[in-house]
């Protein structure tokens, strides 16, 4: 392969982006379940894939390698132009299938497809009829602009790209006024990107005709026109993939927002549980879960899960130390204070924990008549994490600071054990 130039890198990068977008849409085509969906996606894949391959083939170093490898001088530039002519048909099909019902779009595309295939076939025939024995992969147009067959082939190609690009731009701007907001933006981007193809065609035609009259515009044809022609292609590519991409980005943004909300809630609960966890730690430090691996150490959700497990296990260990009348006293204080029914269980649980810790410190064992929560097992399932997180956060809050818990605990400590 010849030594790469900046122009090579430019064409290969743009072509690779287009091919990557084609593969992205091929995945959608593979997943489509209806004939109508597949019919609308095929022109999109062809449009992106054909122009991507054309740009890569048109890069001077790749074109030189193809010509040498196949033994046909100047085959690569003509191959790139043929692919571009077929791309023009795919671009028209893309617009028609985008806008019209599948049956109507297929009917309107029939003669347009024949016309563009005819253009491509004519270009190939004219190329092989011409004498192009000297290889000019980087300046093919300027080198053979005086060769009648090649000049006719090039003019036919430029006019095809010009008329097709102009038609797609007109359709895009016209239909964008009637489309939904997301589709309207996609159509405008497509029109904006294809203006570069219009400038490419005009500059090529001017350079070709100028060469016939002895005006040397080879720099226009060889450098400026290709650069201008490729400059807008990423914009048009974005217009093609925008509807599906924006939908996926919106879904991704929703998932990220949900994950961020969940993380904030987990972090808040983890900190709220710290005082309760520290108070229960002396019950049995052996019940602390030792993280295994970096994932368990660094994932907040896993750390919170095990903190809840540890608290529930310690509560289970404390059950012999719960005063028999603790639940009744705590419930009465909640009723007297007008605590909302949905918060009473959390207040009662905080009272029971404080009373059981005090009894354990004094080595007092009561009858095992009650559990801290009869309806919750000691091990919390992963699916109950959110519920347990919110419930224990309430318990921890009342345990840390609550006048109702203080009054109930004071009454319990004042009542002799039975």
Rounded Cα distance, 380 and 389, in Å: 10
Contacts of 181 (CB under 8 A, 6+ apart): none
Rounded Cα distance, 63 and 131, in Å: 18
* DSSP classification of residue 281: G
Among 21-35, 295-309, 322-336, 361-375, the minimum mean pLDDT is found in: 361-375
Residue keyed to tokens 């400059």? 231
Instruction: Check if the beta carbon of residue 267 is closer than 8 Å to that of residue 300.
Output: yes
Residue keyed to tokens 């004939």? 35
Integer angstrom CA distances of residue 408 from 273, 325, 332, 369: 21, 11, 9, 19
pLDDT tens for residues 161-175?
Answer: 999 999 999 998 888
Gyration radius from the chain CA atoms: 37
| Complete domains list, the chain, with CATH | 6-252 (1.20.1070), 273-414 (no CATH)
Average pLDDT over residues 135-159: 87
Nearest residue to 92 (alpha-carbon basis) of 113, 77, 114, 76 = 113
Query: Is a pLDDT exceeding 50 seen at residue 52?
Result: yes
**Predicted TM-score (pTM) above 0.85:** no
Confidence category of residue 121, pLDDT binned at 50, 70, 90: very high
24, exposed or middle or buried, with CB in 10 Å at 0-12, 13-18, 19+?
Answer: middle
What is the overall mean pLDDT for the chain?
Answer: 83
Nearest residue to 144 (alpha-carbon basis) of 89, 221, 30, 257 = 221
What are all long-range contacts of 384-389, with beta carbons under 8 Å and residues at least 24 apart? 385/301, 385/304, 385/305, 385/308, 386/265, 388/308, 388/312, 389/265, 389/266, 389/269, 389/304, 389/308
pLDDT tens for residues 192-224?
Answer: 888 989 998 999 999 888 888 888 888 888 888
Query: Is a pLDDT exceeding 90 seen at residue 182?
Result: no
Helices 60-70, 75-99: axis angle to 10 degrees equals 120
Neighbours of 103 (CB within 10 A): 10
373, exposed or middle or buried, with CB in 10 Å at 0-12, 13-18, 19+?
Answer: middle
pLDDT tens for residues 351-395?
Answer: 888 888 888 888 888 755 444 444 333 333 334 566 778 888 888
- pLDDT for residue 339: 84
């Amino acid at each position: 392969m010849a030594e790469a130039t900046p122009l090579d890198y430019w064409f290969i990068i743009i072509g690779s982006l287009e091919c990557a977008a084609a593969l992205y849409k091929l995945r959608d085509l593979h997943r489509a379940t209806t004939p109508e969906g597949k019919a609308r996606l095929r022109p999109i894949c062809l449009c992106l894939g054909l122009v991507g391959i054309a740009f890569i083939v048109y890069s001077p170093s790749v074109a030189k390698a193809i010509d040498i490898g196949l033994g046909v001088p100047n085959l690569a530039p003509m191959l790139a132009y043929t692919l571009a002519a077929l791309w023009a048909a795919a671009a028209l099909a893309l617009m028609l299938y985008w806008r019209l019902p599948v049956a109507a779009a297929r009917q309107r595309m029939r003669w347009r497809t024949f016309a563009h295939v005819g253009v491509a076939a004519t270009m190939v025939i004219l190329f092989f009829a011409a004498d192009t024995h000297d290889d000019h992969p980087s300046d093919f147009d300027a080198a053979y602009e005086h060769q009648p067959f090649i000049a006719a082939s090039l003019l036919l190609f430029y006019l095809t790209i010009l008329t097709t690009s102009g038609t797609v731009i007109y359709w895009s701007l016209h239909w964008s006024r009637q489309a939904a907001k997301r589709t309207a933006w996609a159509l405008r981007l497509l029109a904006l990107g294809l203006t570069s193809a219009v400038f490419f065609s005009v500059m090529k035609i001017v350079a070709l005709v100028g060469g016939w009259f002895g005006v040397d515009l080879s720099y226009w044809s060889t450098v400026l026109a290709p650069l201008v022609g490729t400059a807008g292609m990423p914009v048009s590519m974005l217009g093609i993939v925008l509807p599906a991409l924006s939908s996926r980005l919106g879904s991704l943004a929703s998932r990220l927002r949900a994950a961020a909300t969940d993380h904030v809630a987990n972090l808040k609960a983890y900190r709220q549980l710290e005082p309760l966890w520290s108070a229960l730690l002396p019950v049995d430090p052996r019940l602390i879960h030792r993280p295994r691996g970096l994932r368990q150490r660094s994932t907040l959700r896993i750390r919170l899960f095990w903190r809840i497990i540890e608290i529930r296990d310690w509560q289970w260990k404390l059950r012999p130390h719960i005063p028999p009348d603790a639940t009744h006293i705590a419930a009465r204080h909640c009723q007297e204070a007008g605590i909302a029914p949905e918060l009473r269980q959390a207040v009662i649980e905080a009272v029971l924990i404080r009373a059981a810790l005090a009894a354990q410190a004094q080595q007092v064992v009561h009858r095992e008549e009650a559990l801290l929560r009869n309806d919750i097992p000691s091990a919390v399932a992963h699916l109950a994490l959110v519920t347990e997180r919110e419930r224990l956060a309430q318990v921890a809050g009342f345990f840390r600071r609550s006048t109702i818990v203080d009054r109930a605990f004071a009454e319990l400590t004042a009542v002799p054990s039975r």
